[in-house]
Amino acid sequence: MRPSLILSTFVTCAAVATTSLVAPAVASADQTAQETINQLQSEGFTVNVDRVGSGRIENCVVTGVRNPQSQTRNVRDYYGPRDANGDRKYRIVEVVVSRSISVSLDCSK
């Protein structure tokens, strides 16, 4: 595969991942705290947990999912043949490097 095709494929995948950042899954009432955390991690988030109480996670209740953050980087996406000087055309594409989200737990019961 050509490098520009590989990068274009990567950029497309990153764009799809970015659209899912807009609306991360929210904890439902029938999910445990661990299931909520696992779901967010499977969506590509690094999950930061803050909790009240010292109970076991099996007894915790999710009280909030908030503050999704994404860190991006601009990369050059080269395309087309080289010109007479050996240069190639490129476009700047924003790629998501990492994503994080905070989950609040009540473990006091």
What average pLDDT does the chain have?
84
Domain around 86:
3-106
DSSP state letter for 24: P
The structure's pTM equals 0.64
Dihedrals φ, ψ of 107, to 5°?
-115, 25
Q: Which residue has the tokens 């490098």?
A: 3
Task: Please name the helix (run of DSSP H) or strand (run of DSSP E) that holds residue 71, with its range, or none.
Answer: strand 61-79
Instruction: Please give the DSSP secondary-structure letter assigned to residue 31.
Output: S
Distance CA 6, CA 12 (A): 10
Q: Residue 101 pLDDT more than 90?
A: yes
Among 14-28, 29-43, 48-62, 93-107, which stretch is predicted with the lowest mean pLDDT? Answer: 14-28
**Domains of the chain: total:** 1
